[in-house]
Amino acid sequence: MMVNASVVTVFTLSGLNYSLEIRISLFFLSLLWYLMILTGNAALIIAIVMDKNLHNPMYIFLCNLCINGLYGAFGFYPKFLLDLLSSHVITPAGCMLQGFVLHASLCSDYTILALMAMDRYVAICQPLYYHSFMTKKRVTILVFLSWLIPHYSMLMNSGSLLGSELCGSHIDRLYCVNFMILKLTCVAPKSYGAIAYVNIGFYILLFVCILFSYVSLVKSISSSQANWAMFTQTCLPHFISLLTFAASALLDLLYMRFGSQHLPNELNNFVSMEYLLFPPLINPLVYGIQLTKIRKRILHFVHINWKKAKVEVSTLHIHDEHST
């Protein structure tokens, strides 16, 4: 069968068919949202790194979750902000890179959340074995794997598309994802499907582990008031983050494959962006508010810097008075 393959030097992205005034307004709103994501995640990372009392597995996993939030945001927002002020195009190499970063960040989020569920299971359901199981060496290995496995699996996934002949150059989305690139290929590579099924199998296994952890946690807290207090303090923010991630990722996945093209452009854009909007901001908010140690550390940091600023202003004022 003949295919109309062509040499593609640039992909065009869709979704920003607005007037210049609307695009400028969207630029400032998106920039504000991006800065909020950067500030919220950076605040938690700094608080955890600076306070030695927070150097335990739960907070180390949380720190990595926030780092991944920054990583994923960096893969989307700078390019999106640029697109709002210029032409909405991207090179094939840039498209592959963006797709890889966004996929890897999404999978890393899931992997780290699974580690956090396992950590809470051991801490609450097997407290006597917690410190012997969650050693520094084992935590280091788990963190390393939580980054390595998603990036390796997505590298294989993205790599399977390299060299494929393309029969189109228009991506019906605000940004690049592998599935949209796959739709442009003249003949879908067989390796892509095989790798995708392996990846899906692995993340289904992680889902089973998370489900087992929470079933065990619910059984444990029903018989102990102390376990209930620990659950509400440390597991509740994780549960909120997990639900936010699952709802956002599942909605985007289903919509990308089964969504209607007849829906309004604004709704299409929102659904395609919501997993890049909410989880990176909600994670630092719920953990910063719920976890007392982090909240106190951040407030202490803000209080110290506020006092320093007042002292500097007072010193400058006194110096000006002496000068006059």
Structural domain harbouring 220:
11-315
| pLDDT tens readout for residues 244-299 | 999 998 888 888 877 666 778 788 888 888 899 999 999 988 887 767 677 676 66
Mean pLDDT of the chain: 86
- 19 located within any domain: yes
Whether 1 has a pLDDT exceeding 50, the answer reads no
- 322 located within any domain: no
Supply the DSSP string of 67-101, one letter for each residue: HHHHHHHHHHHHHHHHHHHS--EE-HHHHHHHHHH
Whether 56 has a pLDDT exceeding 60, the answer reads yes
In the chain, how many domains are there? 1
pLDDT for res 26: 93
Location of structure tokens 């692995």:
202
Cα separation, 247 vs 274, in Å, equals 10
Question: Which among 196, 287, 193, 303 is positioned nearest to 233, based on CA atoms?
Answer: 287
Read off the pLDDT band of 223 (50, 70, 90): confident
Which strands sit side by side in the sheet containing 89-90, from one edge to the other?
A: 89-90, 11-13, 170-171
Cβ atoms of 82 and 2 closer than 8 Å: no
Q: Classify residue 217 as exposed, middle or buried by CB count within 10 Å of its CB (0-12, 13-18, 19+).
A: buried
- 15 located within any domain: yes
Cα separation, 204 vs 277, in Å, equals 24
| pLDDT tens readout for residues 108-152 | 999 999 999 999 999 988 889 999 999 999 999 999 999 999 999
Location of structure tokens 């095989």:
194
pTM tops 0.75? yes
- 2 located within any domain: no
List CB contacts of 236: < 8 A, sequence separation 6 or more. Answer: 290
- 1 located within any domain: no
Q: What angle do CA 54, 58, 63 make, to 5 degrees?
A: 70
- 30 located within any domain: yes
| pLDDT tens readout for residues 167-212 | 888 898 899 999 889 989 888 888 998 999 999 999 999 999 999 9
Higher pLDDT, 322 or 205: 205
Cβ atoms of 161 and 192 closer than 8 Å: yes
- 4 located within any domain: no
- 6 located within any domain: no
pLDDT for res 280: 94
Read off the pLDDT of each residue in 231-240 and give the average, rounded to a whole number.
85
CATH for 180 = 1.20.1070.10
